[in-house]
Amino acid sequence: MSGGLLVAGTTSDAGKSVLTAGICRWLYRRGVKVAPFKAQNMSNNSVVVVGPDGRGGEIGRAQAMQAAACGIAPDIRFNPVLLKPGSDYSSQVVLLGEAIDTVTAGNYRSLRPRLAETAFATLAELRGEYDAVICEGAGSPAEINLRDGDFVNMGLARNAGLPAIVVGDIDRGGVFAALFGTVALLSPEDQALVSGFVINKFRGDLGLLRPGLDMITGATGRPVHGVLPFNADVQVDGEDSLAYGQLLGRPGSPRGTEWLRVAVIRLPRISNATDAEALASEPGVQVRLTIEPAEVADADLVVLPGSKATVSDLAWLRETGLADAIRVHAAAGKPLVGICGGFQMLAETINDEVESRRGVVPGLGLLPVEVTFGARKTLARSQGAAWGQVPVSGYEIHHGYVSGGAPEPMLRYSDGTPEGAVVGAVCGTHWHGAFESDEFRRRFLTDAARQAGRAGFVVAPDTRFAAVRELALDTLGDLVEEHLDTDALWRLIESGPTPGLPFIPPGAPGAVAPTTSAPGAAAPTTSGSGGQGADVR
């Protein structure tokens, strides 16, 4: 069996995805045959992967990004379970790339044993093929109400005998309490696997932080394997909703005399917001995620992104006044693009008996198409062209399809089949990832600037999105090599958990503490929380 490591975190968005990618890139550059793994994702940011049988399947975009860090093609096994929230109470379950059910917090429990079995078996299979598998946890391993049946954090580590490191985001404050508390709320068996810490997003003088590093090591008996500095130049696919602030990326100075301002509507159930990151890679293009009608009014280009709940998010647009702001923007002849669910919202009508089950509802009426939702989900990698000869590629993840209307298409598939719609400065497509095609993106932005009256905007002729991504991954690899104890990390990956780690009381509620502790740690004073069981959802 190959080596492995679990990268856990004190919270969501603590840096698990980027640290996993950085470790993967460091190992890849050392000549190690390495693969990423996340047993279960909860994210609406997914990508279509085509398996050996030619069938398309979904995995989280973060795992596709990590696969790129490993220098390999993405594989549905890298993320065997994907939960795609459609509301606050339900999620679609994707198992090994295929949607199998929609569950609530209540009935998820009955499905969990099947998901766990698949995740454990898939990791074992990957460890038989690769020299190392770097696993990413989810949320926090100290979510004590979810520990029973956990198979993505310490449940995975215990099943596979993996060492774990815990990463904390110091930019949020309270990182030492978070690191200590994470370990102290784990059972003795789980604590025995937690072999060190990494601190993320540090700014300032490391000398001022060092006493704290020594203290957390003394308090837990576990070393800090390094401190990663804050680096605003690292822009990779986000996974959690927390990863999206107002401004995407760090836009470079414009090549011309004017900026192009882009407003991306931050829908409640936004999916694949990563589509906008390719636009944000362009010099002179300022991309903001927004829920403010005033920012829509001020934008040159408006993007309606994908949604996991098209009809519900459309109702939200109307309730917030954003629908009116979008109509005013379009009426002024300024450019507007809808992607997947956003495209569907621009239609005359939406007939949805699948996702929301609300039947026929009016769309925004900005494109002369009718959309119907089908039970079968379209999952495909797509190739084609725009403007007759500009190559474009992307991927499709949608239940809705155009069932009426025959507008001018925005794109055409390689066989000439029309896709999407264009009316004046308003357009839409079901294709995600189209803006990652460099020539297409440049032409689109040039047209958008003209329609918005930004004559001084000049698109950069040399931005290559694939190169931007590679640079970000190399930067992550550099950060790992320069700021982490890579010898210690390799020992964990190769040899497993550090033996003799001390128990930190109180431990998980209801867990029985060991009667002795290792040298250097305080003796346990309690056996838990009076036998209270975990409140499993």
- Provide the residue type at 207 as one letter: G
The confidence score (pLDDT) of residue 524 equals 33
Give the rounded distance of the alpha carbon of 210 from its chain centre.
Answer: 32
Q: Is 22 exposed, middle or buried (0-12, 13-18, 19+ CB in 10 A)?
A: buried
Provide CB contacts within 8 A for 487, sequence distance 6+.
Answer: none
Beta-bridge partners for 349: 362, 370
What is the domain range of residue 15? 3-235+471-495
pTM reported for the whole predicted model: 0.89
Given 225, 329, 399, 432, which residue is catalytic? 432
Range name among 67-76, 96-105, 394-403, 432-441 with the lowest pLDDT average? 96-105
CA atoms of 46 and 271, how far apart (whole Å):
8
User: Is 246 within the bounds of a domain?
Assistant: no
CA atoms of 341 and 398, how far apart (whole Å):
8
| pLDDT bucket at 237, cuts 50 / 70 / 90 | low
The confidence score (pLDDT) of residue 192 equals 97
Stretch 394-401: mean pLDDT: 94
CA atoms of 361 and 81, how far apart (whole Å):
32
Are 285 and 140 contained in the same domain?
no
Are 399 and 423 contained in the same domain?
yes
User: Is 263 within the bounds of a domain?
Assistant: yes
Rg (CA), the chain: 24
Could you tell me if 224 and 211 are in contact, meaning their C-beta atoms sit under 8 angstroms apart?
Answer: no
Are 217 and 106 contained in the same domain?
yes
User: Is 514 within the bounds of a domain?
Assistant: no
Q: Is residue 531 over pLDDT 70? A: no
Give the rounded distance of the alpha carbon of 318 from its chain centre.
Answer: 27
Stretch 361-386: mean pLDDT: 95
Q: Could you confirm whether 24 is annotated as catalytic? A: no
Provide DSSP, 348-359: SEEEESSSS--E
Are 441 and 485 contained in the same domain?
no
Are 27 and 138 contained in the same domain?
yes
User: Is 350 within the bounds of a domain?
Assistant: yes
CA atoms 101, 102, 103, 107: torsion sign: negative
Give the rounded distance of the alpha carbon of 153 from its chain centre.
Answer: 17
The confidence score (pLDDT) of residue 282 equals 96
User: Is 503 within the bounds of a domain?
Assistant: no
Given 70, 340, 399, 483, which residue is catalytic? 340
- Tens-digit pLDDT profile for residues 118-172: 999 999 999 999 999 999 999 999 998 888 889 999 999 999 999 999 999 998 8
Stretch 63-88: mean pLDDT: 94
Are 102 and 153 contained in the same domain?
yes
Q: Is 405 exposed, middle or buried (0-12, 13-18, 19+ CB in 10 A)?
A: middle
User: Is 231 within the bounds of a domain?
Assistant: yes
Are 483 and 384 contained in the same domain?
no
Q: Could you confirm whether 432 is annotated as catalytic? A: yes
DSSP state for residue 373 in the 8-state scheme: E
Instruction: Quote the number of domains for the chain.
Output: 2
- Tens-digit pLDDT profile for residues 410-469: 999 999 999 999 999 999 999 999 999 999 999 999 999 999 999 999 999 999 999 999
For the chain, counts of helices (H) and of strands (E)? 15, 26
How wide is the angle at C-alpha 219 spanned by C-alphas 216 and 220, nearest 5°? 85
The confidence score (pLDDT) of residue 512 equals 78
Are 282 and 198 contained in the same domain?
no
Mean pLDDT, all residues of the chain: 90
Are 273 and 351 contained in the same domain?
yes
What CATH number did the domain enclosing 199 receive? 3.40.50.300
φ, ψ of residue 25 in degrees (nearest 5): -65, -40
Helix then strand then coil, % of the chain, to nearest 5: 30, 30, 40
Stretch 498-524: mean pLDDT: 72
CA atoms of 486 and 493, how far apart (whole Å):
10
Closest CA to 427 of 355, 337, 344: 337
What CATH number did the domain enclosing 271 receive? 3.40.50.880
Are 89 and 210 contained in the same domain?
yes
User: Is 63 within the bounds of a domain?
Assistant: yes
Segment (H or E) for 4: strand 3-9
User: Is 421 within the bounds of a domain?
Assistant: yes
The confidence score (pLDDT) of residue 238 equals 57
CA atoms of 347 and 362, how far apart (whole Å):
8
Q: Which of 408, 432, 459 is the last residue of a domain?
A: 459
40-42 vs 421-423, strand pairing mode = unpaired
What strands, in cross-sheet order, belong to the sheet with 224-229? 34-37, 132-136, 3-9, 164-169, 194-202, 224-229
343: three-class secondary structure by DSSP: helix
Are 31 and 64 contained in the same domain?
yes
Are 219 and 294 contained in the same domain?
no
